[in-house]
Amino acid sequence: MSIDSISAPAGRTVIAADAALPSANPGHKISLVGLSAFYGKTCALEGVSMTVEPRQITAFIGPSGCGKSTLLRTINRLHEVVPGGRISGSVRLGGVDLYDSRIDPILSPPCRSGRTSWPV
């Protein structure tokens, strides 16, 4: 495993490691475990657990207002930018909890060679 250090603002160090996630082939499994999403005190999703296997097509189908967009926003971490938006439970990509306090979506851009950087 090779490790590269990248300087980051406010004295944080971001580590880029080849083996931070399982191999890119054939892909990474997305796992939701007990996921609940909130807008302030309002619960929009409650206790969702599911797995999306790599290289599979998954469709979210349902009536207006049932939580399809909220579910997608929790997976790609856009839910947390909504005022009052928060989650409980976990969203995992290749076994890594995307909401772990060490994962910063702003400071974790793709690095050279297609690797992903992971804050320490």
CA distance 46 to 54: 24
Residue 68 pLDDT exceeds 70: yes
Tally of domains in the chain:
2
Residue 46 pLDDT exceeds 70: yes
Residue 3 pLDDT exceeds 90: no
Same domain, yes or no, for 14 and 29? Answer: no
Same domain, yes or no, for 38 and 12? Answer: no
More confident residue, 20 or 63: 63
Same domain, yes or no, for 109 and 80? Answer: no
Q: In the structure, what pLDDT confidence band is assigned to residue 110 with cuts at 50, 70 and 90? A: low
pLDDT of residue 84: 92
Q: In the structure, what pLDDT confidence band is assigned to residue 102 with cuts at 50, 70 and 90? A: confident
Domain hosting residue 105, numbered range: 1-21+101-120
Same domain, yes or no, for 44 and 74? Answer: yes
Q: Which of 28, 4, 6, 42 is nearest to 96 (CA)?
A: 28
